């Protein structure tokens, strides 16, 4: 469903998507009560309305492709201007520029004035799903040089138009907080593909302003945010060559990035240009990126979803919730860089269908955390590579209720690391390489925990659940259900796998015998782990519980409890398996039935779970 909705966005303008109500799946529509409580003191809708109306009454300048700057008159719709530049000059102290349908050159750089409204006749339609411009006559189009201003500005409004420039499309900057009470909405931007410097929209040193219903195609940076106390909503970006959205602070007197609130972000694929995700890039110790709240993000076909790339210390108080990255490339969430992170909380993030062999959630080797980095309910489902990897010396890392299911690599992979805490219910199911792997600098770690920091975890997961009944066939021995145990699943002293089997005996007088077998798939050698011996069981149900405990790579212990309708046949057994074959390899456990008639013994269920001990 999410794939279809995102695909339908391609080629549509921001207002068309909003009108269609197709921007976000249902799950992304509402914020949680906690999110509401955490909302930052950003600009309100009322403040945006002030920006929208703070103009002198009656000061309108009309601009049409048929206009004439020499004969135009302010306030006379029948005598329009031909250029935006001439209209700005005529409205020296502010007013409204009403643009007609067609293409107009952007105003000369740094000529905008306070309380100016630039209003188009509607967003134009991109000319294809991989646009090279807009459809002529479909709305108002601003061309080169775009819209740019450096310096103080108050009460600017830009609305209902498109900007097409082979380079930077819209940019604002100046002394700290010198640009304020801005409103930009219902704007579609098409920039150049793969440019090393182009910005779709660059916002710097802006204070108490709103940006909503924006669509950006291409550029190196889709939207660059260096603002304070600003709100961003309903953003759609595709084809950004380096990042769709970047939160950045510079090590200068300018470049603050703090107290910004972002809601409803869609990152969509563009077939001829990869789409990159959301980046936090802190370059300043005095003006760090801090106090950012992001809710409701959907990305399809995105390369690297969310990246913390902090060069210096100071990034703190970051809250991100309700995030889905589907069918992407690279990592859904990753952190790196030498700078410290603090007080980061990410809640309800799903990475699914990643087609590369990297990691859904990755924490890099140089990242340092000086306070809590908490990830609540992260889900890595159906990715080609590993679910989670931690290869950082950081402390203060918390993972709560994680899930790694049906991934092509390991569910959870741990390299040399600092202190981390993992709590809650761990779902770690059906990962091809296994649920858990630990590795240090010299190889896989089984008996050398001193290479690691303190790891607090309570891993438990379901390896395999089987509910399709299997019965014996005639006289002889028949295999019932089989549990394949991936390599490295049973690793670490005290790590256990519990296999609970249940079934029924046929209502016959035939003797019946159940045996459990265990061994490594490497050499296909399997030995008896339990034998009920031949029993006279006439009907009724049976259960068998085997607990497999890893002692070392060459020693495994198995205890089994068997219960049947005939209490005299209930029994408990204990076996030790020693072998020169490494028990860290893939293993197999299965039941065999010896009986006479069909379905004398039927296995109804098999549930295999595991508990991973701390290394």
Instruction: Dump pLDDT digits (tens) for 247-256.
Output: 988 655 555 7
d(CA 67, CA 84): 11
**Residue 46 above 50 pLDDT?**
no
Quick one: pLDDT at residue 281?
A: 86
Q: In the predicted model, what is the mean pLDDT of the chain?
A: 81
Q: Which residue has the higher pLDDT, 10 or 254?
A: 254
Confidence of residue 200 (pLDDT cuts 50, 70, 90): very high
Q: How far apart, in whole angstroms, are the C-alpha atoms of residue 370 and residue 317?
A: 12
Domain 464-612, architecture per CATH: Sandwich (2.60)
Q: Which CATH architecture has domain 2-329?
A: 3 Solenoid (2.160)
pLDDT at residue 111 greater than cutoff 80 = yes
Q: Is the pLDDT of residue 530 over 90?
A: yes
The residue extents of the domains of the chain are 2-329, 464-612
Residue 107 CA neighbour count, 13 Å, CB half: 27
Q: Which two tokens stand for residue 260?
A: 């910004």
For residue 352, give the nearest of 402, 387, 320 by alpha carbon.
Answer: 387
The Cα 289–Cα 282 span in angstroms is: 6
Average pLDDT over residues 505-511: 94
Residue 376 has pLDDT above 80, yes or no: yes
Q: Name the pLDDT band for 411 (thresholds 50, 70, 90).
A: confident
Q: Give 439-455 as a 3 state SS string.
A: EECCEECCCCHHHCCCE
Q: What single string gives the DSSP state of each residue in 72-98?
A: --TT-TTS-BS-HHHHHHHTTT-EEEE
Confidence of residue 286 (pLDDT cuts 50, 70, 90): confident
pLDDT average, residue stretch 305-318: 83
Q: Does 442 or 270 have the greater pLDDT score?
A: 270
Tokens of 590: 């299965």
Compute φ and ψ for 451, nearest 5 degrees: -75, -5
- pLDDT at 453 > cutoff 50: no
What are 49-75's pLDDT values in tens digits? Answer: 334 433 344 599 999 999 999 999 999
* pLDDT at position 398: 77
CB-hemisphere CA count at 13 Å for 380? 36
Render pLDDT for 171-187 as a digit per residue (tens, 0 to 9): 998 877 789 999 999 99
* Burial (CB count within 10 angstroms: exposed 0-12, middle 13-18, buried 19+), residue 37: exposed
CB 93 within 8 A of CB 87: no
On whether the CB atoms of residues 382 and 352 are closer than 8 A, the answer is yes
Determine what percent of the chain is predicted with pLDDT higher than 90.
49
Mean pLDDT of 144-156: 95
Scored b (16 or more CB within 10 A) or e, 311-337 reads ebbbbbbbbbbbbbbbbbbbbbbbbbb
d(CA 20, CA 9): 10
Reduced to 3 states (helix: H, G, I; strand: E, B; else coil), residue 70 is coil
124, 139 Cβ separation under 8 angstroms: yes
């Amino acid at each position: 469903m999410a794939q279809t909705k995102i695909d339908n966005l391609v080629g549509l303008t921001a207002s068309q998507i909003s009108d269609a109500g197709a921007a976000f799946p249902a799950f992304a529509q509402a914020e949680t009560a906690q999110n509401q409580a955490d909302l930052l003191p950003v600009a309100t809708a009322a403040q945006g309305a002030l920006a929208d109306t703070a103009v002198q009454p009656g000061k309108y300048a009309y601009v049409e492709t048929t206009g004439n700057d020499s004969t135009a008159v302010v306030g006379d719709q029948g005598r329009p201007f031909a250029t935006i530049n001439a209209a700005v000059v005529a409205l020296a102290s502010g007013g409204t520029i009403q643009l007609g349908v067609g293409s107009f050159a952007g105003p000369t750089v740094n000529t905008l004035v306070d309380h100016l409204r630039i209003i188009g006749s509607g967003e134009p339609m991109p000319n294809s799903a991989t646009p090279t411009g807009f459809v002529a006559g479909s709305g108002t189009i601003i061309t080169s040089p775009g819209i740019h201003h450096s310096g103080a500005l108050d009460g600017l409004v830009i609305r209902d138009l498109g900007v097409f420039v082979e380079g930077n499309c819209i940019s604002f900057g100046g002394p700290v907080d010198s640009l304020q009470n801005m409103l930009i909405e219902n704007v579609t931007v098409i920039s150049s593909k793969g440019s090393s410097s182009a910005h779709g929209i660059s916002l710097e040193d802006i204070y108490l302003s709103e940006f909503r219903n924006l669509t950006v195609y291409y550029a190196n940076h889709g939207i660059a945010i260096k603002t304070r106390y600003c709100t961003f909503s309903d953003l759609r970006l595709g084809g950004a060559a380096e990042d769709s959205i970047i939160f950045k602070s510079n090590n200068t007197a300018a470049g603050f990035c703090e107290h910004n609130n972002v809601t409803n972000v869609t990152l969509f694929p563009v077939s001829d240009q990869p789409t990159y995700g959301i980046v936090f890039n802190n370059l300043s110790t005095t003006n760090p990126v801090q106090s950012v709240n992001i809710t409701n993000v959907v990305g399809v076909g995105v390369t690297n979803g969310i990246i913390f790339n902090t060069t210096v210390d100071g990034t703190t108080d970051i809250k991100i919730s309700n995030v889905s990255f589907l069918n992407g490339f690279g990592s859904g969430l990753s952190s790196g860089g030498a700078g410290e992170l603090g007080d980061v909380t990410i809640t309800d993030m799903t990475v699914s269908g990643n087609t590369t062999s990297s990691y859904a959630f990755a924490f890099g080797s140089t990242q340092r955390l000086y306070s809590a980095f908490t990830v609540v309910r992260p889900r890595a489902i159906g990715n080609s590579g590993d679910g989670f990897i931690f290869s950082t010396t950081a402390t203060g890392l918390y993972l709560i209720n994680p899930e790694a299911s049906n991934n092509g690599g390991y569910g959870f992979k741990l390299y040399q690391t600092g202190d981390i805490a993992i709590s809650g219910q761990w779902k770690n199911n059906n990962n091809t390489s296994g649920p858990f792997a630990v590795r240090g600098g010299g190889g896989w770690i089984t008996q050398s925990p001193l290479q690691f920091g303190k790891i607090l975890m309570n891993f438990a997961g379901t390896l395999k659940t089987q509910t399709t009944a299997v019965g014996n066939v005639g006289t002889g021995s028949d295999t019932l259900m089989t549990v394949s145990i991936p390599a490295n699943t049973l690793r670490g002293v005290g790590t256990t796998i519990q296999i609970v089997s249940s079934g029924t005996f046929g209502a016959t007088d035939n003797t019946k015998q159940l045996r459990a077998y265990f061994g490594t798939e490497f050499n296909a050698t399997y030995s008896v782990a339990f034998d009920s011996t031949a029993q006279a069981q006439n009907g009724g149900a049976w259960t068998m519980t085997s607990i497999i405990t890893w002692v070392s790579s060459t020693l495994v212990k198995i205890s089994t409890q068997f219960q049947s309708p005939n209490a005299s046949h209930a029994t408990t057994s204990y076996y030790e398996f020693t072998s020169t074959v490494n028990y860290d390899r893939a293993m197999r456990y299965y039941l065999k039935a010896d009986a006479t008639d069909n379905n004398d013994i039927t296995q109804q269920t098999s549930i295999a779970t595991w508990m991973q001990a701390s290394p």
